[in-house]
Amino acid sequence: MELSNLALRLFQGGLGNLAAYLAAHVLLCLVPAFFVAGGLAALVPKEAVTRFLGRNTPRYISYPAAAAAGSLLAVCSCTIVPLFAGIYKKGAGLGPAITFLFIAPAANILALAYTGVAIGGDIALARIVLSWTFGIGIGMIMALIFRRDDVTHDEDTNDVFAMQAKVPARTWVFMLALVAILVFGTLKVGLLTNTYARLTLPIAGVDRFQAALYRLLPFDASKGEEGVSAQGVVMIVLLALTGISAWLGLDKVDQGFNRWTGLSLGLVVLTLLVAAVGMVPHADGLDVFLTGKLFGVMLALGVIAYLAKRSFDPFEIQQWLWESWRFVKQIFPLLVVGVFFVGVLRQIIRPEWIESLAGHNTLLGNMAGVVFGVFMYFPTLVEVPIANMFLSLGMHRGPLLAYLMSDPELSLQSILILSTIIGRFKAWTYVGWVALFSLLSGLLYGAWVDGTSLLLIILYLVGLLGVLAFGLTWAERRSRRAIVAGQTRTS
C-alpha cells in the first residue's frame, strides 16, 4: 500500500510539474523562441552571424559579443536552447555559442536586477562578474577541446540561405517583433503587468474547478511546484490542438501551404493572446484582465503578420515555418520527458537536506548548492525568491551563489535537448564544466564573504582567462601548422 502511494505521489509530482510548465512557461517563452530560432536559420545569412560569432572572428570580438547578446535575454535553460541551436546552425563558433548559452540564463539584465533587489547588490555583482568570466572561460575551453569538430561544423554550415552578408531591414524588424513577444513573456514592469480593462464572463463552476485542480496537482512554492490554474488548463488544450494542426500543416510546409497551415498559425496566435491575459475565477464567473502584455503581444503579432504578407515571398515564409517546426520536433519531446522526471525528483529530494549541508562555505556545501540547482529546476527569475528563502534558513552566501549559477544554467530537460544538438559527449562535457565553475563561483564568493582579499580573487580570475586564451591560441596555431604541413605533403 505504501509503495502504491509513493508511486502515485511521484506520478502526480511529474504530471503536476509538466502541466505547470506547459501552462506557465511554454507559451510566451518557448513558442516565440522556436520561431526566433527558425527565423535565424531561414532568414538570416550565415555571414551576419559569423561576422561577430564565427569560429574565425577574433576572440576579443566574438566572446564579448556573445556575452552581451545573452545578457539582453531573460530566458531559462530550456528557452535558450533553441536560440543556441539557431545561431550554431547558422555558423557561430562552438565557443561563442556556448558563451551565449551560458550567459543568457545566468546573467541576463532582469535576473541581475531582481537578484540585487531581493538578495543584495553584492551577490548581483558577483553573479554578473563570475557569469561573464566563467561563461567566456567555458566557451574557450569547449572551443579548445572540440576545435577539430568546430572546423568541420564551420565547413558544413554553408547553405543556400547564406547568400548575402547583410541582414535586410525587413528581417531585422521581423526578428525584433518575434523577440518582443519573448520579452513580453518575461519582463515584469508596470507597463506590461498593469490591468487596463476587465471583463467578467458568467461561467459557473470555474472556482470549484480551480479548487479541484489545486487538490489534484501538487502546489508547494518551496519545491518550485506552481500548480495549474484554470487558465493553464485552457492553454494546455490550445497547445495540444496547435500541436496536432501544426503536425499536419507545418511538417511539409517547405513543399507548400495547406489548409492546416493557416489553422495551426491561427491557434498559435490565439494561444499567445490567451496566455497574455490574466484570469481569476470566482463564485460569480471568471474575471479576464486585459493587461499591457496583451496589447504588446497584439502589436508584435500585427507587425509580424504585416511583414510576412508584404515584405517576404511565400518561399521565405515556408522556410521560416519549416525551420521553426524542425526545432519543435527536435526539442519539444525531450523537454516534456525531462520536465516530467524533474517533477518526480522533486518529490524525492528535500530542500532541508541542502539547507543542513550548505550552512558554511565548504566544498560539500557548494556541491549541495550545485546539485540542488541542477535537479530542482525552477523557471527563470523564480530561482531568486527560492534563493532568498534559503538565505533566510541559514544557507551561506557562497553555496547560495553556487545555486544561483547552476539553477538557471542546467536542468535535466535542457541537458537532454542539448545532446541532440551538439552530441551527447559535448553536452555532458559542457555540463561538467558548468558544474565545476558554479562550484568555484560559490567557493570564491564565499571566501570573499569570509574575508579573503578581493584583489587576490580578481587575480585568480584574470589568470584563469589568460591561461585559457593562451591555450586556445596555441592549439589553433598548432592545428593550422598541421593542416599546412598536410597540404604540403599532398602537393
Q: How does pLDDT run across 313-325, given as a tens digit for each residue?
A: 899 999 899 888 9
Q: Please, which pLDDT band fits residue 36 given cuts at 50, 70 and 90?
A: confident
> In Å, how far from its chain's centre is CA 198?
32
Please report where in the chains the cell 550554431 appears, as a residue. Answer: 88
Q: End-to-end distance of the chain based on CA atoms, in angstroms?
A: 76
pLDDT of residue 159: 44
| Residue pLDDT, tens place only, 399-414 | 888 888 888 777 777 7
Rounded CA-CA distance 221/31 in Å is: 25
The answer to whether residues 413 and 76 touch, using CB atoms and an 8 Å cutoff, is no
Beta bridge partners of 290: 197
| Residue pLDDT, tens place only, 256-271 | 888 899 999 999 999 8
Rounded CA-CA distance 178/161 in Å is: 20
Cα–Cα–Cα angle for 328, 68, 137, nearest 5°? 90
pLDDT of residue 158: 47
Rounded CA-CA distance 305/310 in Å is: 9
Domain ranges (residues) in the chain: 169-331, 351-490
Please report where in the chains the cell 464567473 appears, as a residue. Answer: 285
Q: Please, which pLDDT band fits residue 370 given cuts at 50, 70 and 90?
A: confident
C-alpha grid cell, residue 448: 570573499
Please check the confidence at residue 198 and state whether its pLDDT lies above 80: yes
Within 8 A by CB and 6+ apart from 64, the residues are 136
pLDDT of residue 162: 40
**Nearest CA to 360 among 396, 391, 388?**
396
Greatest alpha-carbon span in the chain: 85
**Nearest CA to 375 among 415, 328, 315, 417?**
415
Rounded CA-CA distance 406/43 in Å is: 33
How many C-beta atoms lie closer than 10 Å to residue 396's C-beta? Answer: 23
pLDDT of residue 244: 92
Instruction: Please give the average per-residue pLDDT across 25-47, as a whole number.
Output: 73
Beta strands in 184-340 (DSSP E): 195-201, 219-220, 225-226, 278-282, 285-291
The answer to whether residues 442 and 401 touch, using CB atoms and an 8 Å cutoff, is yes
Rounded CA-CA distance 247/230 in Å is: 26
Q: What is the DSSP letter of 396?
A: -
Q: Does the pTM exceed 0.85? A: no
State which of 155-159, 272-276, 296-300, 338-342 shows the largest mean pLDDT: 296-300
Rounded CA-CA distance 257/269 in Å is: 18
- What would the DSSP string read from start to end of 44-94? S-HHHHHHHHBTTS-HHHHHHHHHHHHHT----TTTHHHHHHHHHHTTB-H
Higher per-residue confidence, 63 vs 41: 63
Please check the confidence at residue 398 and state whether its pLDDT lies above 70: yes
Mean model confidence pLDDT for the chain: 79
DSSP β-ladder status, 278-282 and 225-226:
unpaired
Instruction: Please give the average per-residue pLDDT across 17-44, as a whole number.
Output: 73
**Nearest CA to 445 among 436, 437, 457?**
457
